[in-house]
Structure 1
Amino acid sequence: MVHTGTQDDSFQLYDLRIEVVCPPGKRIMCGAKEGDYFTLQGEMIYLPPNQGISIYSLATVIPLLPAKQRVTSPNDWMTTDALIACPDPNCPSQLKIIREGIRTFSHSETTVVPLHH
């Protein structure tokens, strides 16, 4: 099926901001600094200039991001739980997933697989 404009094939995803949280006075092992962040818009990750993120921290949070982008029930733990521990057991930092604005996407512009109704 080709998108003709007559069928609404839109869906929405939250933009996410993933921010580093560090307990004051604690030694941080992963190289993160309080307030470091990256954003996720659709499938694209954006880092501010001259800021990195540990691949191990990134690997820990990535599996949760597609679910956090989607609208969930207010009773679902995915809606309420936002802090992800650093994977280094000796590092007390966390990544906080913050839902920001909602962005609208088109099915036909994100995949070649047709919609079946």
Structure 2
Amino acid sequence: MSDSKEFWLYDLKVEVIATERPMVCDHQPGQYFLMHGENLIFGPDGKFPLYPLAALLPLLPAKQRATDEHDWMTTDACIACPDPHCGGQFRITRTDKRRFTHAQTSGLPDKRGTPYWATSTSDN
């Protein structure tokens, strides 16, 4: 960690992709959401099904962080729909990187600064 106590997180895109198996859940190929910092930004249709989202959520913070090039979290990008009868998959792609500081993100009273989302230079 540098002297400024900064860290970087990847922005993510989570996109529905089709396989040879039929999709039975309410998600369509090309449907997506973005993750910038802690924020989910839904695609143009503004929706994403709850159950696949619930299955994906635990993986997203790990995908945001830098990992070893041989770690499966780095190399594996496609996650199956949690419904065993559905052929849909979700591709998680690291897109851009975003800089944060400890003071911008900490809830600890003695470490806290201006939240990242309240800074004028923030595009989070």
Query: Which residue of 103, 116, 120 maps to 1:108?
Result: 103
- Displacement of 1:82 in angstroms is 0.9
- Displacement of 1:37 in angstroms is 0.5
CA contact (8 A) 1:36 1:51 kept: no
Question: Which digits, 9 at most, give the CA deviation of each residue in 1:79-109, with x for residues without a partner?
Answer: 0011111011110000110001100011101
- Displacement of 1:50 in angstroms is 2.4
- Displacement of 1:112 in angstroms is 3.1
Q: Specify the alignment match of 1:11 in structure 2.
A: 7
Please, what TM-score do these two structures have when normalized by structure 2? 0.81
How many residue pairs match? The answer is 108
AA at the equivalent of 1:50: D
Q: Specify the alignment match of 2:47 in structure 1.
A: 52
AA at the equivalent of 2:96: G
Aligned CA RMSD, in angstroms, stands at: 1.5
Query: Which residue of 12, 18, 25 maps to 1:22?
Result: 18
Unaligned runs of 5+ in 2: 113-124
Question: Distance in 1 between the 2:66 and 2:101 partners?
Answer: 16
Unaligned runs of 5+ in 1: 1-6
1:42-81 pair list within 5 angstroms: 42-81=37-76
Please, what TM-score do these two structures have when normalized by structure 1? 0.86
